[in-house]
Amino acid sequence: MLKATLKTLTVLFLFSVILTSCKKKNEQKSKMELLTQKEWFMSKYEEKTNASSWVDDFPNWQACEKDNKFIFRTNNTLEENEGATKCDVADPQIVGTTAWAFTDGETKITVNGSATIDQLDENAFVITVSDTFNGTTYYERITFRH
């Protein structure tokens, strides 16, 4: 009888471990977790007007600008950090901090203006900003990676 009870308890324990581990694998991270879990580095800065093609201007940036880090914190502050190299050694390491917030059901983000979130996952954060002036719509699409 004791052996049967121990076997039953062992089987129940193993079954609960399996269920718990499966559940954790299937759980998706919230947008807050995805945005704040690691620092982000810009990898593309694309522009276009109206229906023209996207043009990536990021390759033309200086190396000291390309390594800047963007750190979204859970207290809704964004820190821009100079990264490994500075364009001017006299510049502070932390370029600045500003407030950020999700809006429109977490489909947009507000940081000194509103941007549409095109993608936010473990590997990429892509936003698009648009503005219309004198009948021409100007778009900027920024891609960040870890």
Residue 140 has pLDDT above 80, yes or no: yes
Give all domains of the chain, ordered by start, each with its CATH number: 29-145 (2.40.128.540)
Distance CA 47, CA 116 (A): 15
What does the pLDDT look like over 2-61, one tens digit per residue? Answer: 445 445 444 444 444 454 555 455 689 999 999 999 999 999 999 999 999 999 999 999
Residue 113 has pLDDT above 90, yes or no: yes
Distance CA 25, CA 40 (A): 24
R_g (Cα) of the chain, nearest Å:
23
> What pLDDT is attached to residue 93?
96
What mean pLDDT comes out for the span 131-135?
95
> What pLDDT is attached to residue 21?
54
pTM value surpassing 0.85: no
- pLDDT > 70 fraction of the chain, expressed in percent and rounded: 82
Mean pLDDT of the chain: 88
Count of Cβ atoms closer than 10 Å to residue 52 Cβ: 9
Cα–Cα nearest to 94, from 110, 78, 82: 82
Specify the 3-state DSSP secondary structure of 7.
helix
> What pLDDT is attached to residue 13?
44
> What pLDDT is attached to residue 2?
45
What mean pLDDT comes out for the span 72-76?
98
Residue 108 has pLDDT above 90, yes or no: yes
> What pLDDT is attached to residue 27?
81
Cα–Cα nearest to 52, from 139, 124, 116, 126: 139
